[in-house]
Amino acid sequence: HIPGNQSMTSSSLLAPQRSVSQAKLALARGLHPARSNLTSKSQTVGHQQSHTNTSENPGRHRVLRIDLTLSPRDPNAPGQFGRAVVVPPGKEKEAERRWREGNFNVYLSDLIPVDRAIEDTRPAGCAEQLVHNDLPTTSIIMCFVDEVWSALLRSVHSVLNRSPPHLIKEILLVDDFSTKEYLKENLDKYMSQFPKVRILRLKERHGLIRARLAGAQNATGDVLTFLDSHVECNVGWLEPLLERVYINRQKVACPVIEVINDKDMSYMTVDNFQRGVFTWPMNFGWRTIPPDVVAKNGIKETDIIRCPVMAGGLFSIDKSYFYELGTYDPGLDVWGGENMELSFKVWMCGGEIEIIPCSRVGHIFRNDNPYSFPKDRLKTVERNLVRVAEVWLDEYKELFYGHGDHLIDQGLDVGNLTQQRELRKRLKCKSFKWYLDNVFPDLKAPIVRASGVLVNVALGRCVSIENTTATLEDCDGSSQLQQFNYTWVRLIKHGDWCMAAITDKGSLRFHHPCDYRDNRLKWLHKSTSGFHPELVDHIVFEHYQQLLCMEGDFSQKTLKVAACNPMKPYQKWKFEKYYEG
């Protein structure tokens, strides 16, 4: 099969790809193929396993295989070993009703053990890897708001059961002002059996970003490890993450995020070689390294993958480094965009984001957030992304604004950005251009969509700039006065001057400086079939009330705007060059 083909069975866009054949195999055998031969050896239970200092590897030991769930009390319990579960007959209605408590199969989550065993899905070779004996300790920070009881417990148990205890300084559960009763006294009582678990209650809803910051402030470990509150950490997940941070404190280490199926609660592995990327306007996604690139470079399943961006929820970062970077922008609200912010910040200010294939954590991907947003969800995420774009994207922010519809045109208040911009200066971070060239060269990011002379198709004459006025002249490709750029934010630019839909001395005027929020400067270049170089045939001036089109008048050598009419040849325009993007 082709790794990472389109046949995703998971419902969420955020879930990494899994090819069906691999998934079926795993389900049929109850095992991931890569570890089938490890079962008999996997009996090393508990943390009694000592650091083995061999003479060849002083100061290092094999990744500890700690899994207190290997011989479960009830091997036949539903969901055991990560198996899929079916809702029992007669319970379908109840399961359906309870779905909305978490936007996944809450009924089944409650049915399966909170400390179920899951298959060791690590690629072959991971169990033999060496890590340092003196790894730093970590604080696990899990923020939650109205999390499903059994999912939260399973997350905590998976950390306790599959991590070397000496590395866990504490598990901080940050309650982001949940309303559910069971998350109050009951949770306190339940967690009191685990001395390492601390619950931090926020007095008002902080949103996940500021909740994480509250967690960080209360953390006492050397490294911060953030997790969502509906995960299952797999065997050996922690040491490989801490190892990377230990090697270089500017490395931010992410596990491979596997899929806990939202419908049947099965633990499913994902395809190898996936990177965290984004597409415009800053949508997070996964992209598989093409098989020929893998083959040509001899990339192994266990090799670390450098990522342009992280998914956001699961990662380890050196605590003092996190603070050096100025943490997250505390102006980000509730949910979304913070993964972009931290990723750009890390890369541009000297760090690295890595996915560690030997560290694997399952996560329940959901179609929708199960909790409410204090303000409109769309506006919240948009506001966060605009803050990120304005601070980090430099001139490339036009690509963000040029893709999709943005609420910024409607007077969205994004708050003050001075501190964030100053932070970037103080840290002497590199440019977004550097990031594109060095970290994410395969992202298509042409700032201009079209350039060169702008020719009126019917007249065969070109737009020229004379002082601040647009005129129509004989085309002369070598004349600077006839060179224009059409950008993603729909400006027709000549240097810092932009063509405006304002007539001056009978012809359109050029305006200075360009401002992409000024609607009088925005021109929609389109054809009947959208923006397609071969088919582009006219430029429409985008106006809220009425559509006005740029029109040429050769006898007067002028440009004006008039009611759009597809039959009028003098309204058809073409640039010299068009760019893919």
Q: Which residues bind ligand UD2 (CB under 6 A)?
A: 14, 143-145, 147, 176, 207-208, 211, 228-229, 257, 311-314, 334-336, 338-339, 363, 369, 371
| Residue 211 binding result from Mn ion, ligand UD2, none, given CB thresholds of 5 to 8 Å by partner type | ligand UD2
What is the three-state SS of 139-174?
A: EEEEEECCCCHHHHHHHHHHHHHHCCHHHEEEEEEE
Give whichever of 15 and 472 is closer to ligand UD2, judged by the CB atom: 15
Residues 6 or more apart whose CB falls under 8 angstroms from that of 422 comprise none
Q: Nearer Cβ to Mn ion, position 311 or 358?
A: 311
Nearer to ligand UD2 (CB atom), residue 185 or residue 204: 204
Say how far apart CA 581 and CA 578 lie, in whole Å: 10
Rounded distance, CA 216 to CA 225, Å?
Answer: 9
Structure tokens, 407: 């609420």
* DSSP string of 425-466, one letter each residue: HHTTPPPHHHHHHHT-TTS---SEEEEEEEEETTTTEEEEEE
Can you say whether the dihedral through the CA atoms of 318, 321, 322, 323 is positive or negative?
A: positive
CB of 68 to ligand UD2, least distance (A): 23
Binding partner at 311 among ligand UD2, Mn ion, none, C-beta below 5 to 8 Å by kind: ligand UD2
> What does 314 bind: Mn ion, ligand UD2, none (CB cut-off 5 to 8 Å by kind)?
ligand UD2
Structure tokens at 263: 């419908």
CB of 413 to ligand UD2, least distance (A): 20
CB-closest chain residue to Mn ion? 228
- 437 CB burial (10 A radius; 0-12, 13-18, 19+): exposed
Closer of 145 and 235 to ligand UD2 (Cβ): 145
Minimum CB distance to ligand UD2, residue 285 (Å): 12
Rounded to the nearest whole angstrom, what is the least distance from the CB of residue 495 to ligand UD2 in the complex?
39
Q: Which is nearer to Mn ion, 70 or 310 (CB)?
A: 310
Identify what 260 binds: ligand UD2, Mn ion, none; CB under 5 to 8 Å per kind. none
Of 57, 45, 60, the C-alpha closest to 243 is: 60
Assess contact for 449 and 577: CB atoms under 8 A: no
Minimum CB distance to ligand UD2, residue 91 (Å): 26
Q: Which does 66 bind (CB under 5 to 8 A by kind): Mn ion, ligand UD2, none?
A: none
Phi (first) and psi of residue 144, to 5 degrees: -150, 150
* Angle, CA of 272, 276 and 278, to the nearest 5°: 140
What is the rounded distance in angstroms from the CA atom of residue 541 to the CA atom of residue 484?
A: 16
For the CB of residue 265, give the shortest distance to ligand UD2 in the complex, in Å: 16
CA 196 centroid distance within chain: 30
Q: How far is the CB of 237 from ligand UD2 (least distance, A)?
A: 14
Q: Which one of Mn ion, ligand UD2, none is in contact with 167 (Cβ closer than 5 to 8 A by kind)?
A: none
Which residue ranges make up the site for Mn ion (CB under 5 A)? 228
Q: Which is nearer to Mn ion, 228 or 354 (CB)?
A: 228
Nearer to ligand UD2, 4 or 370 (CB): 370
3-class DSSP state of 529: coil
Residue with tokens 């109050």: 184
Q: Which does 147 bind (CB under 5 to 8 A by kind): ligand UD2, Mn ion, none?
A: ligand UD2
User: Closer to ligand UD2 at the Cβ: 206 or 490?
Assistant: 206
E strands of 305-381, at which residues? 305-306, 315-318, 352-364
Q: Which is nearer to ligand UD2, 374 or 477 (CB)?
A: 374
In angstroms, what is the minimal distance from the CB of 366 to Mn ion? Answer: 7
312 binds, among ligand UD2, Mn ion, none (CB under 5 to 8 A by kind): ligand UD2
- Minimum distance between the CB of residue 536 and Mn ion, rounded to whole angstroms? 42
From the list Mn ion, ligand UD2, none, which binds 354 (C-beta under 5 to 8 Å, kind-based)? none
Let me know: does 104 contact 132? Beta carbons within 8 Å. Answer: no
Give min distance, CB of 282 to ligand UD2, in A.
12
In the bound state with ligand UD2, the residue whose beta carbon lies nearer, of 142 and 349, is: 142
CA dist., res. 494 & res. 464, Å (int): 10
Q: Which does 351 bind (CB under 5 to 8 A by kind): Mn ion, ligand UD2, none?
A: none
